[in-house]
Amino acid sequence: MSTAVGILLLLVTVNPPRRRSELPPDRQVVAAGAVLTFLVLIALGLVGEWLLEGLSISIPSFHVAVGLVLAIRSVVDFSTALPPGGEEMPGRRAALVPVFFPVLFRPELALVAVGVAVDAGRPTLLAGALLAMAAVVGWCALPSNRRFDRAAGVAFSAGLMVLAVDRIVDGIFAL
């Protein structure tokens, strides 16, 4: 996986236009949740290769599995309406729940973080995770337009499907 593909994969997996509709309106809480997500992604990247070896998962098998998970996520995001707007949560704890989990840190993002770190290297994961989380915070700072968010979310989902197929094909041909 090239650096550009790794960064793009992280960005389309996060899908900032779609995530905005699930986040609370408080930008400071969103930024705190994005920082927490970034730190967890980096930690996963540091232990990813060790995890795969410990579980006896080959890299090609992991590519196929990640591709299948991403394809399912892409179809779900592509075919469903935007969820209702995020509710205002009291206090800074909202950065943990619901911003960090379940909105930003999702299973598919964890798998992609491990895959990018293993395939493209930790610097690529660092750059991609930073860009993805900055995109979420930046997207939340823009004026809200649900029609535009829906269209942009579909475009991100289409890009995710393309990269999911790439992961599957890459894994199959490496077996």
For 82, the token pair is 């935007």
pLDDT band with cut points at 50, 70 and 90 for residue 95: confident
Residues near 153 by beta carbon (within 8 Å), at least 6 away in sequence: 15, 17, 18, 77, 82
Task: Parse the chain into domains and list their residue ranges.
Answer: 3-83+96-174
The residue that leads in pLDDT, 111 or 25, is 111
φ/ψ of residue 93, rounded to 5: -65, -20
> Cα angle at 73 between 121 and 40, to 5 degrees?
40
Can you give the pTM of this predicted structure? 0.94
Residue 173: count other Cβ atoms within 10 Å of its Cβ: 9
8 Å CB contact between 130 and 38:
yes
pLDDT band with cut points at 50, 70 and 90 for residue 165: very high
Q: How far is Cα 107 from Cα 153, in angstroms, rounded to an integer?
A: 18
